[in-house]
Amino acid sequence: MKHLLLFVTLVSLLAGCAVIRQPPEAEPGVADAAAWQAHRETLAELKTWALQGRVATGQLLGWTGNLNWRQSGEDFDVRLSGPMGAGGFRASGTLDRVVIRTGDRRMVTTEPDALVERTLGWTFPLEPLRYWGRGLPAPGGYDRISVDAQGRLVALEQDGWKIAFPEYAEPDGAPALPERIVLDNGETRIRLVVDRWFDIGGASAPDA
């Protein structure tokens, strides 16, 4: 019965969506490729943005916390904190030099994902999430994407992760941006709910 429900859910998610294999522009038969191309270009122009949200994992013991992410060009400031501010980390800088703080510890790295995994005990894909969070594939190859009639990313397989985008929000003056994201690499399952998008394009934003 569970398998049947899962199958029905997947069919419902993908119904009406176009499956595109890289590169989408090489497949003129895909009806939604043009809409996806236009939406992707619009999202790629968003160099400044911020979000507030919540993160939960599907681990046996589970983990829940709050996520605050500010991005300005290549510079980012990411804070992931557990209940009452305990646990998690803060990462800031660029991918060429990331400063990660956990409690009283301060570490500098060029491989933030590996260091964050050692800190948390589970994988948090910091590098590609700045793209996935906007509803974009990260640079490099991907195995498969699915888009809807509006050109919005519905599902993505990249770098060993399967990512679903079941809900979108439309902040004022901004294109559609993901409101819920589910990430699964076979070992770690992460659910991200975005409560608020702001500072889109550099507009004034409240303190995180």
What mean pLDDT is predicted for residues 39-67?
90
**The pTM is what?**
0.81
pLDDT at 173: 77
What mean pLDDT is predicted for residues 176-187?
96
Token pair of 13 as six digits: 């998610």
pLDDT at 63: 87
Residue 113 lies in a domain: no
Q: Give the residues across from 191 on adjacent strands.
A: 56, 182
Is 78 in contact with 126 (CB distance < 8 Å)?
yes
Q: Give how many domains the chain has, as a whole number.
A: 1
Residue 74 lies in a domain: no
For residue 161, what pLDDT band results from cuts at 50, 70 and 90? very high
pLDDT at 44: 93
Residue 71 lies in a domain: no
The domain that contains 48 carries what CATH number?
2.50.20.10
Query: Which range marks the domain in which residue 41 is found?
Result: 17-64+122-202
What percent of the chain stands above pLDDT 90? 66
**From 29-38, 119-128, 131-140, 145-154, the region with the lowest mean pLDDT:** 29-38
Residue 106 lies in a domain: no
What mean pLDDT is predicted for residues 88-96?
93
Closest alpha carbon to 176 in 142, 150, 147:
150
CA distance 208 to 189: 25
Residue 115 lies in a domain: no
Summarised one tens digit per residue, pLDDT across range 107-137 is 999 999 999 999 888 899 999 999 999 999 9
Residue 77 lies in a domain: no
pLDDT at 182: 97
Residue 136 lies in a domain: yes
Summarised one tens digit per residue, pLDDT across range 54-84 is 999 976 567 899 999 999 999 999 999 987 6
Residue 161 lies in a domain: yes
CA distance 180 to 192: 6
Closest alpha carbon to 37 in 147, 140, 133:
147
pLDDT at 121: 87
Answer whether residue 204 shows pLDDT above 70. no
Rg (CA), the chain: 17
| Through-space distance between the first and last CA atoms of the chain, rounded to whole angstroms | 43
Give me the residue label for tokens 């640079």.
139
Average pLDDT over the chain, rounded to an integer: 84
pLDDT at 95: 86
Token pair of 70 as six digits: 């500010």
Closest alpha carbon to 110 in 126, 131, 124:
126
Answer whether residue 5 shows pLDDT above 50. no
